[in-house]
Structure 1
Amino acid sequence: MDVFVTGGTGGIGSAVVKQLAQDGCQVIGLSRSDQSAEKLRRLGASAYPGDLRDPATWVERATACDAVVHLGATFSSDMGKVDRIAMLEMKKAARHRKQPLKVVYTGGIWLYPPCKAGDMLNEKTPFSPLPAFRFMTETIKTLSTGTDLALCVVHPALVCGPDFGPVAEMTAALKQSGRFETRASEHTFWPLVEVSDLARLYALVLRQTRFRMSVIGSGISGVSVDHLTSHISARHGKPLEIVTQPAPEGIDRDQDWAAGYALSQSADNTHAKRLLSWSPEHAAVEDLVISLSR
């Protein structure tokens, strides 16, 4: 299978590219620099020059593949506009195909509302996105209409890798100052997923013949910040203090990407397990912390 990947050199994208290459896919990664092209090659992919902001440079190549995995994002003030234009141009370019183009679009757990105690989100929970990510729900709706694309949306929980995500950030804070500043409180619940587990979920999605679906990628359905802190502190033998920070004064809500950390959420992963036989290896907090400890 030929798979075109945007955002293939990011934290999540690198793991997905590596997993797909190991599975025998011919992976083509969008690359806007020599450095990113070299990183893609090291991961087992080939590089195709282009820029997410300029879809004319890459959509024809992307739609010539069997599938597209969209992981790219600018995290700039015009992130939503860039994403929407890119996806619309890709959909337009896919019209010439004899078969619908498989597209895996990356949503996120912050498209869903906070949970009440004891409740869990699932794929049928109505969207209630943070303002900064509202554009995703509109893009998902657009990509879902018509017959040009066969769409799957993956909604990752808070992704944890060796150098990014809550566990890595809390560990770094513990070593530097012993204080972790966050928008969450000690009682906030976070759903978590280890990055290689998430990469396997993307790979499983691509293998499906049925390809109009939505799955939540949550290896650990929900853990309180306090409980996660206790595991990290025990692992390193030092106490970590949680310092809850309010939203910065005057911040534009449409660009307040960190607001999601204040959401208390738990996410049911039953659908992904049953539909795709996904079996995350890091399904316990202790295992996740040990795996990512340095």
Structure 2
Amino acid sequence: MDVFVTGGTGAIGAAVVKRLNGEGVRVIGLARSDTAAEMLRASGASAYPGDLRTPESWVGRAASCDAVIHTGATFTEDMGRVDRQSMLALKQAARHRKQPLKIVYTGGIWLYPAVTGTRLITEKTPFSPLPAFRYMTETIRTLSNGTDLNLAVIHPALVCSRSAGPIAEMTAALGKGVPFETRATPDTLWPLVEADDLAALYALALRQPRFRMSLIASCIQGISVAHLASHISARHGLQLDIETQPVPENANLDTDWRAGYALSQSVDIQHARRATGWQPEHSTIEDLVVALSR
């Protein structure tokens, strides 16, 4: 199987590339720079030169593969426009294939609303995205229309690895002896997923014959920021304090990506497991904190 991956050097994409290589998949990664190309080759992937901003330079190669995994994003003011244009160009490039092109598109838990009480977010919960991520719902709708693509959308919870995500950020603050600064309050609930576990779900989604699949990827249903901080404090024998930060006065809602940390969310973790056979290794907060604190 040949799989084209965008964002293959990012937090999610790098884990996906590693996972697919381990399963014997031939991975071709989109490389915007020589540095990115070197990182991809070091991980066992091939590097294809191109940029999300100029999809005409790479969508033909991507559409010739068995599948495409899209984890790339510019995180610039025009992120939404770039994403929509690149995915539309990919859809057009796939029109003349004999079989529909498999695309695994990365959505996000912040496309869903905050929840209260005992309610859980499920794949059937209507989208209510933060302004900065509204473009994703439009892109998903575009990719879902027609029969040229076999679409799976994965909505990751807050992704955690040893170098990125809430646990890494909390641990870094603890090591510096400073409070953990966040938009969340101590009672805010965060669903979490470990990066390698998430990559395993992407690999499983590639092999599903089902058309238009939507999966919420979370190992931890929802843990309060205070509870998470207490686990990290206990692991290191130090006290981690939480400092809630206000929304910056000059914040532009259309590019305020960190606003998602203020959302209190609890999610159904069962559907992705039932639909794909996914069995994440880090299914408790204890497992997650220990694994990422070694």
Q: Residue in 2 aligned with 1:59?
A: 59
- SS of the aligned residue for 2:127 comes to coil
Q: Residue in 2 aligned with 1:136?
A: 136
Counterpart CA distance in 1 for 2:138 and 2:12 is 23
TM-score normalised by structure 1 residue count: 0.99
The alignment-based identity, stated in percent, is 67
Write the letter of the residue equivalent to 1:39: M
Following superposition, the deviation at residue 291 of structure 1 comes to 0.4
Q: Residue in 1 aligned with 2:18?
A: 18
Matches within 5 A, 1:123-202: 123-202=123-202
Following superposition, the deviation at residue 194 of structure 1 comes to 0.3
Q: Residue in 1 aligned with 2:263?
A: 263
Q: Are 1:275 and 2:283 matched, yes or no?
A: no
Contact kept, 8 Å, 1:121 with 1:268, in 2: the verdict is yes
Q: Deviations over 1:218-260 (max 9, x none)?
A: 0111101010000000011110000001110021100100000
Q: Residue in 2 aligned with 1:231?
A: 231
Following superposition, the deviation at residue 211 of structure 1 comes to 3.2
The gaps in structure 1 that reach 5 residues or longer are none
Q: Spell out structure 1 runs of 4+ moving beyond 4 A.
A: none
Q: Deviations over 1:165-221 (max 9, x none)?
A: 000000000111330000000000000000000000000000112232000000111
Matches within 5 A, 1:206-221: 206-221=206-221
Counterpart CA distance in 2 for 1:96 and 1:47 is 25
Write the letter of the residue equivalent to 1:40: L
Counterpart CA distance in 1 for 2:238 and 2:118 is 31
Q: Residue in 2 aligned with 1:8?
A: 8
Q: Residue in 1 aligned with 2:293?
A: 293
Q: Deviations over 1:23-63 (max 9, x none)?
A: 11110000011111111111111000001110011000000
Write the letter of the residue equivalent to 1:8: G
Q: Residue in 2 aligned with 1:245?
A: 245
Counterpart CA distance in 2 for 1:121 and 1:82 is 28
Counterpart CA distance in 2 for 1:205 and 1:267 is 19
Counterpart CA distance in 1 for 2:27 and 2:211 is 19
Cα RMSD over matched residues? 0.7
Q: Are 1:82 and 2:82 matched, yes or no?
A: yes
- SS of the aligned residue for 1:223 comes to strand
Contact kept, 8 Å, 1:87 with 1:139, in 2: the verdict is yes
Contact kept, 8 Å, 1:102 with 1:211, in 2: the verdict is no
TM-score normalised by structure 2 residue count: 0.99
Counterpart CA distance in 2 for 1:51 and 1:31 is 7
Q: How many residues matched?
A: 294
- SS of the aligned residue for 1:102 comes to strand
Counterpart CA distance in 2 for 1:138 and 1:188 is 28
Counterpart CA distance in 2 for 1:77 and 1:128 is 20
Contact kept, 8 Å, 1:178 with 1:239, in 2: the verdict is no
